Chains A and B, each alone.
Chain A
Amino acid sequence: MKAHLTRRYIFSASHRLHSDELSEEQNHATYGKCNNPYGHGHNYALEVTVSGQVNPQTGMVCDLADLDETVRREVLERFDHENLNVRQEFASAVPTTENLSAAIFNILQQNFTTAHLEKVRLEETMMNSFEYSG
Chain B
Amino acid sequence: MIYLTRKCEFSASHYYYNPAFTAEENQRIFGKCANLNGHGHNYTLEVTVKGEVDPRTGFVVDLKELKEILIREVLEALDHRHLNKEVPEFATAIPTTENLAIAIWNRLERKLNVAKLHRVRVYELPDLFVDFYGEP
Question: Residues on A close to B: CB < 8 A?
Answer: 1-9, 49, 54, 56-61, 63-65
CA distance A54 to B95 in the complex (A): 12
Q: Is the interface of A mostly helix, strand, loop or mixed?
A: mixed
Q: Lowest 9 CB-CB distances: which A-B pairs, in order?
A: A59-B94, A59-B96, A8-B127, A4-B131, A2-B135, A3-B98, A59-B99, A54-B98, A3-B132
Q: Tell me if B96 and A4 are in contact (CB < 8 A).
A: no
Q: Tell me if A7 and B127 are in contact (CB < 8 A).
A: yes
Q: How many residues of B contact A (CB 8 A)?
A: 26
Total A-B residue contacts, Cβ distance less than 8 Å: 63
Question: Residues on B close to A: CB < 8 A?
Answer: 16, 18, 20-21, 29-31, 93-99, 101-102, 126-133, 135-136
CA distance A127 to B136 in the complex (A): 35
Q: Kindly name the residue among A5, A56, A64, A65 whose own CB sees the greatest number of chain B CB atoms within 10 A.
A: A5
CA distance A74 to B126 in the complex (A): 22
Q: Tell me if B130 and A3 are in contact (CB < 8 A).
A: yes
Known contacts A4-B130, A9-B127, A60 near B31 by CB under 8 Å:
no
CA distance A57 to B17 in the complex (A): 10
Q: Tell me if B20 and A60 are in contact (CB < 8 A).
A: no
A9 to chain B, nearest CB (A): 7
Neighbour of B131 across the interface among A3, A64, A65, CB < 8 A: A3
Q: Tell me if A2 and B136 are in contact (CB < 8 A).
A: yes
Nearest CB in chain A to that of B126: its residue: A8
Neighbour of B29 across the interface among A4, A8, A54, A63, CB < 8 A: A63
